[in-house]
Structure 1
Amino acid sequence: SFFIGAVICIQMKLNIQSPWMPRWVSGYTTREILLLEFSSSIMCLILAGKVGSNIASELGTMRVTQQIDALDIMGVNSANYLILPKILGLVTIMPFLVVFSSCTGILGAYGTAYIGHILSPEDLTLGLQHSFNSWFMWMSIIKSLVFAFIISSVSSYFGYSVEGGSVEVGKASTDAVVSSSVLILFSDVFLTQLLS
């Protein structure tokens, strides 16, 4: 997030700044990009690769080694016992990660302003504060909640329904990451339209 914030700030300054625009435009566009897309969508895509494959391979290994069957035989609702904590955990922590990502991205933009001297910190601050809409922050958090549910539920499904051996566990892990990434991008279109 830090480096993406820095890169966005540099790109905005170099590519859209002109003598006809106010100097704070770079800070304004950096804030909008971080809040509207990067902090929720792109970060969740990264987490889909890390967390999604982890959930799918963990559950897949439990299925292959018959640990889930043992839970079922003992009368434990294995889906409820294994999947629900993963969904609740990811949905609970994701809004905090989104806020942290936004703040870190803004710190990266300030790092660019202070170290790279691309634009002055005062102009960046003016842009970051210009006509701030707090709904964009809530929009980012709502999107991240949906994405967290997609990552955890899709990955859990692929891991829980593995049949076969270790090769199928690897395939389930790959399928979970690909499917959740595609679903995140697909739902992002509708959520952006719905929440805007």
Structure 2
Amino acid sequence: MSRVHTVEPGECLLSIADRFGFFPDTLWNAPENAELRRTQTRATPLVPGDTVFIPTPREKLAGAPTDARSVFKRRGVPAQIHVRLLQDGQPRAGVAYTLAVGGLELRGETSPAGQIERWISTTARTGRLTLSTGEVYELAIGRLEPASEERGVRARLCSLGFLTAIDAPPAELKSALRRFQSAAQLPVTGAVDDATRARLVDRNGA
């Protein structure tokens, strides 16, 4: 039976599709989700309160021998987490880390671009990133709102070090936007426009 699902904090299209047994593209491209595609330019992240149409699942049959063990793997699982470490605007390359998420401890080093990209469960909501320098960061996975939303802009400015707190007053937001626009070689207006949003997503990695 089809239904309409209201997005909750921490959910994205990947986790919703996994929960209901669909590929993310199936939900994203469903005709009933045309309004969602109009208001959100990307399938993930989504805004709490968004609605996603969930179609009726289609039964799929697969033949398998009865006298042998068969393994079936569903595509599209797990999801990938992207983290980028910067210091004074420069990538922190070659930093050893431990990422604790979903009951696993994933170890490695940041890439030359300061990035961490690891596969994780779509149901993961929190994580802890511990660096070899002793720094520890608590991660709220799936809670980054789209850059089309003010909180999405604020979150990215915080992540990039231009804003001290996501709930900072409007004057601080404007100042942070001006500093970011200057660093990104954009017209310095202190206002959010399409070019600023696009550069925030590019610099933040999501």
Instruction: State the TM-score bracket (shorter-chain normalisation).
Output: under 0.3
- How high is the TM-score relative to the length of structure 1? 0.27
TM-score by length of 2: 0.26
**Max radius of gyration: which structure?**
1
